[in-house]
Structure 1
Amino acid sequence: MAQLGYLLVAMLLRAFSVLPYPLVARLGSALGAAAYALPGRRKHVVLVNLRLCFPEKTEREHHDLAKEHFRQVIRSYLERGIQWFGSAKTIKNIVQIESRIDLEDKDAPPTIFLGFHFVGIEIGCMLYSMQLPVAALYTRMSNTRLCDLARRQRGRFGADMIERSTSARKILGILRSGKPVMLAADMDHGINNSVFVPFFGVPACTLTSVSRLARLGHARVVPFVTEVLPDFRGYKLTIFEPLNDFPSGSDTNDARRMNAFLEAQILRFPEQYYWVHRRFKHRPPGVPAVY
């Protein structure tokens, strides 16, 4: 059954890669709206997250935002076909890039590109890898064959794909060699090497790995965000200025700053953040579970 499921997913993604982007995007949006009409665990997770992070919104507003989020998420799954199997020309045609740093600076210091789990994160990383060398950290999926497919296709333009569980020594070696490292640290990966800091006022288990890698690798930390543009016009990758005084010497303060930066970006397009993830899976001692 797992083998059949993998083959079906791979075939569908290859089929979507040859269809016009606006058609795939519209189909994904429609399927997302239909999926929201069905009860499910992910719908419950999304609504819990939205209620916690936006308590000022009404229940109707929570549901409207959750439905739009489902549109964005399912759409992003279908668009993986273009991202994984589409040509470099196709991807360049649907992604704009705005960088506030000089990407061609040959004297640039070691750089950590700090990403966040918006629905467009993947295509932004792939566009960057077409232009400049980069290593990207990924988290292994439970389906081995699908994980291997994702790793190959995400790295097909030259990105060095590094499993998140690899040693810090290897990542530091990459940084010191002059190759930037892309990673995201806004998911709940457990209480080890994490601190509880506010995320929209709610204690969130937040990784401290960015601070440690930046400190040990003498690296600047440059946030980036890929947003979905309206009217099915594609995406925009924005690379921001390096975070000032980062790392600060306090992993907790640095984690707070990362979450504060992320909050500001979410408020620009809240429907595009990955609310389907259990961001508050782990809770501080004595605080009840929410999912």
Structure 2
Amino acid sequence: MRLTRLTAEILEQLGHLFVVALLRSLSILPYEWVARLGSALGAALYALPGRRKHIVLVNLRLCFPEKSVREFDELAREHFRHVVRSYLERGIQWFGSEQTIRNIVEVESEIDLEEENPPPTIFMGFHFVGIEMGCMLYSLQSPVAALYTHMSNTRLCDLARRQRGRFGAEMIERSTSARKIVRLLHEGKPVMLAADMDHGIENSVFVPFFDVPACTLTSVSRLARMGRARVVPFVTEVLPDFKGYRLNVFAPLSDFPSASDINDARCMNAFLETQILKFPAQYYWVHRRFKHRPQGMAAVY
């Protein structure tokens, strides 16, 4: 038993070292080479049967029932291109130089990102494939705290936390006390978070997402209410022709937070839908967005 456990630990360590070496190697290659390689690899992997492919297709059929089988296939294949490409581009995001990141990300903002004394601000992101690159760029320019979800692989989790915070971002585990987050908001440090994944029914409500009941976190409105913070949505878009990214920062949501967590969750999902329709292949469809279902509704995966 001890020998088996030791062997597993050695294999895990070797796997971790391989991942780090691969990402470091990718970070020194030209961005366009890495992007093209990831896109080609994603198309090849889509040709193979797999659980993630099944999840993507289920999500697309639920959210876009009007599309044909051919359209589902084309959209899912393009999504795989984007997802695998984003994995390879982690090398640039986590180990690339500051100047490299600045060179491939442009910013369009409806608010003044250089305001000297901004009000308490929650930057609300969404899980498009480019979210990591947008967060890395913002952390280059301004102090920020960012919430993250702990991964089951401890070594990978430590690596991700360390590299995501390498330009000064304060990384905070999602399960931390709300009081700490509110304190940061009151101290003038913006907080970045994303609340568009299914993290379970606790502190969540079921509201429509493309007319499908989706388990949606209420943490954004609760934190905004406690911290008297404005909620500023942002989306990082992958530009066509391997030209890099655009970080889009929007105006604060109006009348948010309201007195109703349900209305706020509906507002978040409605805003997200408008952005997905602009570039649907870039949303993170590989996630089981409808993992939890309202009582009486059948599982979909």
Interval containing the TM-score (normalised by the shorter chain): over 0.9
Using the alignment, how far apart are the partners of 1:163 and 1:28 within structure 2? Answer: 29
The aligned runs of 1:1-291 (5 Å cut-off) are 1-291=11-301
Amino acid at match of 1:236: R
> For residues 233-288 of structure 1, what are the alpha-carbon distances to aligned partners after superposition, in whole Å with 9 as ceiling and x for unaligned?
00000100000000011000000000000000000000000000000000000000
Amino acid at match of 2:105: V
Using the alignment, how far apart are the partners of 1:42 and 1:4 within structure 2? Answer: 25
Amino acid at match of 1:167: S
Give 4+ residue runs of structure 1 displaced > 2 Å after superposition: none
Amino acid at match of 2:238: V
Using the alignment, how far apart are the partners of 2:153 and 2:199 within structure 1? Answer: 18
Amino acid at match of 1:128: Y
SS at match of 1:96: strand
Amino acid at match of 1:50: L
Q: RMSD in angstroms over aligned alpha carbons? A: 0.5
Report the Cα offset of residue 158 of structure 1.
Answer: 0.6
> For residues 94-138 of structure 1, what are the alpha-carbon distances to aligned partners after superposition, in whole Å with 9 as ceiling and x for unaligned?
000011101121231100000000000001001001111100000
SS at match of 1:70: helix
Using the alignment, how far apart are the partners of 2:275 and 2:208 within structure 1? Answer: 15
Using the alignment, how far apart are the partners of 1:132 and 1:267 within structure 2? Answer: 30
Using the alignment, how far apart are the partners of 1:206 and 1:255 within structure 2? Answer: 6
Report the Cα offset of residue 141 of structure 1.
Answer: 0.9
TM-score (norm 2): 0.96
Using the alignment, how far apart are the partners of 1:28 and 1:8 within structure 2? Answer: 17
Q: How many residues align?
A: 291
| Identity fraction in percent | 79
> For residues 153-202 of structure 1, what are the alpha-carbon distances to aligned partners after superposition, in whole Å with 9 as ceiling and x for unaligned?
00000100000011101111111110000000000000000000000000
Amino acid at match of 2:102: K
Using the alignment, how far apart are the partners of 1:266 and 1:194 within structure 2? Answer: 22
Amino acid at match of 1:154: R
TM-score (norm 1): 0.99
Report the Cα offset of residue 69 of structure 1.
Answer: 0.2
> For residues 49-105 of structure 1, what are the alpha-carbon distances to aligned partners after superposition, in whole Å with 9 as ceiling and x for unaligned?
000000000011111100000000000000000000000000000000011101121
Using the alignment, how far apart are the partners of 1:2 and 1:205 within structure 2? Answer: 34
Q: Structure 1: 5+ residue runs without aligned partners?
A: none
Using the alignment, how far apart are the partners of 2:232 and 2:243 within structure 1? Answer: 26
